[in-house]
Structure 1
Amino acid sequence: MESKKRISYVVLLLLTILIIAFITWAYSPLRPAEEVKEYLQSSNYVEVIREKNIYFIPRNFKKNYFENVGIIFYPGGHVDYTAYAPLAYRLAEKGITTVILNVPLSFAIFDVDSARTIINDTRFSDKEWFLAGHSLGGVAASEFLVKHPELVGIKVKGIIFLASYPARDISYLPIKSLCIYGSEDGILSPKTIKEKKALFPSSTEYVEILGGNHSQFGSYGLQKGDKEAKISAHEQISIVVKAIKEFLEKYTSQR
């Protein structure tokens, strides 16, 4: 009996240590680069609103072709969500309203339904949304589509994967899709993207960024396991913004 008590105590102690270790790790996500601060300030052409989530809203445009289109962005796993502010800000500079989701413990997969809050927000009742996500965030975005097929093609018009792929087969969904990845990605290789093509919507367009890596889709430094990029972070984000803009232009021209 004494031996069983001792074993139970040891097991409980180990579980407690593991839980504490996980919580400590989860509350210490990859931090944003110093430059991110300047992208969290409003300007003449972009209004930045910080609530639970962060909203990047275009303003003072004489003619905005993306007035009725927006992006809901799921951040990568264990990355501070503000690290994607430079990307979101630069999309807004092109006229594209972009919302970065603040997800539990910096893991979007813990709350795939978080996009629902934005979709139901009456401030954006005129918007048609494209979900987007980096790495694990792309997985979460695709899971939202699986959970809410009734919104596909109605309020959610497309999905954008950044160094990511769907965990489940969504090839049957009638939705626009874009996948952007880097040739130097050490975490999710181009080979893996190609191997997973059968899971993507059949409409998916693919853009490979020559010299781009995994980490530079955000602004948080070099992630462990990633390769060094052969282009600058600014250049990589410029290519991403251009690819997304061209992708959305095709959609708006077909409406």
Structure 2
Amino acid sequence: MAKKWSKRKVFRIIWLSFGSLFFIWNWNTFQSHQLPENTFLNNDLVSVLETDDQITFTSALPENKLEVIFFQGGLTDPKAYAPLCRKIAEKGFTCHLIKMEWRLPQYRYQEVFKFIDLKAGNYVIGGHSQGGKMAAQMVHENPTLFKGLFLMGTSHPRDIDLSNQPIPCIKLYADRDGLASVEEVMENKSKLPKNSNLILIAGGNHSQFGYLGQLLMDSSSKISLEEQQKQTIHHLITFMNSIKMKV
């Protein structure tokens, strides 16, 4: 005769089942979702090359000497930012989407020096969330190396002070961002480079800065993914065009 399961054993199985389902759901939100079909296709405007270290979206406009280094968010699939990087390239700026080891930008972020000669070109650097933090860290450690800094959906710089850096900077933040709230962004405003341009995306959230699922603790957006991406692209391109004139 089969032994009856104890209440403790039943509870343990239920707990483990829910825990496993929660982990799977949470991990799935960090994956790329709903990527446009042409994201990785070559055409007359953009060519795409993927390696172990980066996905490069090369612009067909050779006269533009300004290029972009993009750092992914923490734990996120780097491909979630591929549509954004492609749009940047379509507007004339070759964009290097950096693949971070273990999807963690805070570790070995300086590996980018091994496969891109940053000292030989004109680069703007930036990223989303934790990627924005490490882009700011790169500027802090290499104050004369980059032509501009862009930050998306992040409360950083928080632990470093860039207020004395003359570098052009833009920061995009959203009022529905549950991971980098407006209050947190404003708390650290004084640590940004002087004359930084802070732009609020009304109705946007943290997750829609990439093609991601809704991340844990993020708020629901009040605008579509397409609309948030459209506004993000517009402001980034305006920023980069202002730097292009000086390069």
TM above 0.5, yes or no, is yes
Partner SS state of residue 235, structure 2? helix
The RMSD of aligned alpha carbons is 2.2
Indicate conservation of the 8 Å contact 2:148/2:243, yes or no: no
1:182, 1:190 within 8 Å by CA — same for their partners in 2?
A: yes
| Farther off after superposition, 75-84 or 110-119 | 110-119
2:207 aligned residue (209, 212, 215): 215
Q: CA deviation at 1:111?
A: 1.6
- Between Structure 1 and Structure 2, which shows a larger proportion of helix residues? 1
Once the 2 structures are TM-superposed, how far is the Cα of residue 45 of structure 1 from its aligned partner? 1.1
Matches within 5 A, 1:60-209: 61=61, 67-117=64-114, 119-120=116-117, 125=120, 127-149=121-143, 152=144, 155-164=145-154, 165-167=156-158, 168-209=160-201
CA distance in 2, matches of 1:133, 1:120: 19
Structure 1: distance between partners of 2:233 and 2:38: 18
The CA distance in 1 between the partners of 2:113 and 2:92, in whole Å, is: 22
What secondary structure does 2:39 align onto? Answer: helix
Indicate if the aligned counterparts of 1:161 and 1:179 stay in contact, CA closer than 8 A: yes
Residue 119 of structure 1 and its aligned partner are, at CA, apart by 4.0
Opposite residue 192 of structure 1, the aligned amino acid is E
Indicate whether 1:253 and 2:245 are aligned: yes
Separation in structure 2 between the aligned mates of residue 37 and residue 135 of structure 1, nearest angstrom? 25
TM-superposed CA distance for 1:58, in Å, is: 1.2
Unaligned runs of 5+ in 1: 1-23
**What is the CA-CA distance between 1:147 and the residue it aligns to?**
2.2
Q: Whole-Å Cα distance in 2 between the matches of residues 111 and 42 of structure 1?
A: 30
| Pair 1:38-2:38 in alignment | yes
Tell me, which stretches of 5 or more residues in structure 2 are unaligned?
1-22
Q: TM-score, normalised by structure 2?
A: 0.82
3-state DSSP class of the match of 1:225?
Answer: coil
Per-residue deviation, residues 38-69 of structure 1 (Å, max 9, x unmatched) = 3122222111110120000111x4x85xx111
1:199–1:118 CA distance, 2 compared to 1 (3 A): farther
Q: How many residues align?
A: 220
Residues 186-205 of structure 1 deviation map (CA, whole Å, 9 limit, x = unaligned): 11111111111011111311
Find the residue that maps to 2:147 and give its secondary structure: strand
TM-score (norm 1): 0.80
